[in-house]
Amino acid sequence: EGRLQLVAFAGILLVELAVLGLLYFNATNKLASIGKEINDTKAAVAKLKDEVKDAEELKNQADTLSKQLEVLAQLESQRTGPVRVLDELQAVLSPPSNEEARYKQLQLNWNVEWDTKRLWLTALKEAKGGSFKMEGGAVNADDVAEFLQRLTTSSHFKDIQLDVVKAQDGQAQTESGAKRRVSYVTFKLAGKLDYAGKPAAGAPGKKG
């Protein structure tokens, strides 16, 4: 009977060991699976961080490029702006060169029959901040009014303010060499220059 009990105890112990071994094996496999999931998750997180980092770098590169383009555009405006301003001033002080230019000037309410030689400029000075001052003369005040109309409807001259119009007397030399007395006016005006404005309407010598 004692041997039977010993055999039975040994059998039970073997069964328990087998069960424990099975449980240990299952637990080990489960831990390995969990470890794999953890490693996979860490890898996914690392990949996501890299993607986010790449996205941030791309955004920073895009921002840097955008700023560079703005600087280049500003430099280009500073380089070509004065040329466009002078082109427009030439257009303002020129008769229409063709029918298209004539039509554009009419649309701006310019007097296309105005003799642009009746007005002349003696000074154009630009100050800081894009402001400018202009001086000149004209046959009479009507010519100054036409010039102001053209400037106020131009693309590059803004906020035009007429400071003074003053009547003057002087002498002019005729073709025969004789001198005669003439009356004219001088004027001073101020405003702001917009280098980014559109090209002048009806610029002389330019077609559509």
**pTM for the model:** 0.57
DSSP one-letter code for 109: T
Question: Which segments of the chain have a pLDDT < 50?
Answer: 72, 75, 199-208
- At 77 the pLDDT is 53
Q: What is the mean pLDDT of the chain?
A: 79
Can you give the C-alpha Rg of the chain in angstroms? Answer: 44
Quote the number of domains for the chain.
1
The strand order across the sheet containing 131-138 reads 119-126, 131-138, 179-193, 157-173
Q: Which domain holds residue 115?
A: 1-208
- 97-146 pLDDT, tens digit per residue, is 999 999 999 999 999 999 999 999 999 998 888 899 999 999 999 999 99
Separation between Cα atoms, residue 162 and residue 188, nearest integer Å: 6
- At 205 the pLDDT is 38
Residue with tokens 């009806």: 202
- At 92 the pLDDT is 93
- At 203 the pLDDT is 41
